[in-house]
């Protein structure tokens, strides 16, 4: 295994992303595609790259992400967390910068489970008086 390779996992809702970071020129691929193909909207690309921009490491790493599960926004947040965690492994002095922008905090919101005797998580069946 390469000593320069850093691996970290990020999760959000039912999405998870694994980031493999190694020194390079700034190439970013997600599931084998360029970031512009996988996330065509610019604000989603900016959100994924936020940890790199905050720490001024935009062009110093090649990043290979594997994102799966959930939806687009869940994968964006999972990818962002994975990149931030791998940067924190690379240089622990950057943790304070990442924390300042809340990039190392996992968002704990999850879908509430469906309860028995109910239509959904909270919705009940219609009540009839007679």
Q: Does position 1 have pLDDT exceeding 90, yes or no?
A: no
Domain that holds residue 71: 6-100
Phi, then psi, of 61 in degrees rounded to 5: -130, 145
114 in a structural domain:
no
Q: How confident is the model at residue 2 (pLDDT cuts 50, 70, 90)?
A: low
Residues in the chain: 130
How open is the CA angle 113-115-117, to the nearest 5 degrees?
Answer: 160
Confidence at residue 53, expressed as pLDDT on a 0 to 100 scale? 92
> In which residue are the tokens 């687009």 written?
72
pLDDT at 58: 86
Residue 111 lies in a domain: no
Within-domain flag for 82: yes
Q: How far apart are CA 76 and CA 46, in angstroms?
A: 10
Beta bridge partners of 2: none
Specify if 130 maps to a domain.
Answer: no
What's the pLDDT tens digit per position in 81-130?
Answer: 999 999 999 999 999 999 999 999 999 999 999 999 899 999 999 888 88
CATH for 17: 3.30.230.10
Question: How many Cβ atoms from other residues are within 10 Å of residue 26's Cβ?
Answer: 13
76 in any annotated domain:
yes
- Mean of the pLDDT values across residues 42-71? 93
Residue 118 located in a structural domain: no
Asked whether residue 50 is assigned to any structural domain, the reply reads yes
Neighbours of 102 (CB within 10 A): 9
Does residue 117 fall inside a structural domain? no
Number of domain units in the chain: 1
Going 121 to 122 to 123 to 129, the CA torsion angle's sign is positive
- Locate tokens 């919705």: which residue? 123
């Amino acid at each position: 295994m390469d000593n320069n390779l850093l691996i970290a996992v990020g999760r959000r809702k039912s999405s998870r992303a694994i980031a493999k970071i190694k020194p390079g020129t700034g190439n970013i691929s997600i599931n084998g595609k360029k970031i512009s193909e996988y996330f065509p909207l610019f604000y989603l690309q900016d959100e994924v790259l936020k940890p790199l921009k905050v720490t001024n490491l935009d062009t110093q790493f090649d990043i290979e992400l594997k994102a799966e599960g959930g939806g687009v926004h869940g994968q964006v947040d999972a990818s962002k967390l994975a990149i931030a965690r791998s940067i924190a492994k690379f240089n622990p002095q950057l943790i304070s910068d990442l924390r300042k922008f809340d990039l190392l905090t996992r968002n704990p919101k999850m879908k509430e489970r469906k309860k028995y005797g109910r239509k959904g998580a909270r919705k009940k069946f219609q009540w009839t008086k007679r």
